Amino acid sequence: MFSNSEIGIDLGTANILVYSKNKGIILNEPSVVAIDTETKNVLAVGAEAKSMIGKTPGKIVAVRPLKDGVIADYDITTEMLKQIMKNAGKKLGFSIRKPNVVVCTPSGATSVERRAIHDAVKNSGAKNVHLIEEPVAAAIGADLPVDEPVANVIVDIGGGTTEVAIISYGGVVTCNTIRIGGDQMDEDIVQYVRKRYNLLIGERTAETIKMEIGHALIEHDEITMDIRGRDLVTGLPKTIELSSTEIQSALKESLLHILETIRATLENCPPELSGDIVDRGVILTGGGALLNGMQDWLSKEIVVPVHLATSPLESVAIGTGRSLTVIHKLQKAAR
């Protein structure tokens, strides 16, 4: 009865995932809320709200209340969490009204941002709220031995941020966060198409392009894709053909920033742990890890084995849920 009311939440910029120890991932919804600007009522949350982006009348807006992995709009986030908790409750049939919740926070979040996440979850109907650093959650979800004194390197490329952390003995030894992730890559594609073709495309189209023909900076067989948008000169709809090498050049700058962050983190690694990294390599998690060729490109650049987590999109949520059992150990290590 008690474990049924313990859940882990991955509060991501792009998606919110809810994990239960007994049932695994029970919810995976985009972090999007549709609201009526006149009445301030929440009309839809998750996939339903995401399908409305860029397609709604003036008084209805689809917003993403989380920016760069932290809360940008407190009230809307609380409303979204209430809805998510309600949906999770339906799936689990909470035998106790209020669940215990573990939520992950970006390691670069300030104490104010952490407090906002804690309060938003508490106000949406949680009994106790524990916060865990995202890289630690990702490492637990990727089945790494986080509580042992060996180096585990996690590169978590999420929607709003990329976090690179070296974890040993239950805590973060060194960590770097940059506010570049999947969203920034989408924005790079939008800007590229706008400059090169005078064509305006939406963020959903950009995301599809990234997933289908986006490539990390490696040689590959060129593939093309037809996309539709609005011509900025005539104002009429127009179709153009994009190639994967064009998208590769559009993403180049963001990818190099991510590489630079990985290098900076590895340079700050204590020498005793460096040997472990050569043996054990780096683990990639997060949606950005699924970009075509990402694993090969990084292993070539940093000359260390690079492994993809078993389920990159879900490893933070799984780790958040699993950490319920080790949270006391981790908190002791963090003190």
Please give the annotated binding residues, written as ranges: 13-15, 159-161, 207-210, 287-290
Helix 182-197 and helix 244-267, axial crossing angle in degrees, nearest 10: 140
Residue whose structure tokens are 């990402």: 294
What is each CA distance from 236 to 199, 200, 206, 216, in whole angstroms? 10, 10, 19, 32
**The tokens of 233 are what?**
């000169």
| DSSP β-bridge partners for residue 225 | 242
Residue ranges for the known binding site for ATP are 13-15, 159-161, 207-210, 287-290
Question: What is the sign of the dihedral through the CA atoms of 289, 294, 300 and 301?
Answer: negative
Q: Exposed (0-12), middle (13-18) or buried (19+): which is 74, by Cβ within 10 Å?
A: middle
Residue whose structure tokens are 């590229």: 192
| Rounded Cα–Cα distance for residues 320 and 326 (Å) | 10
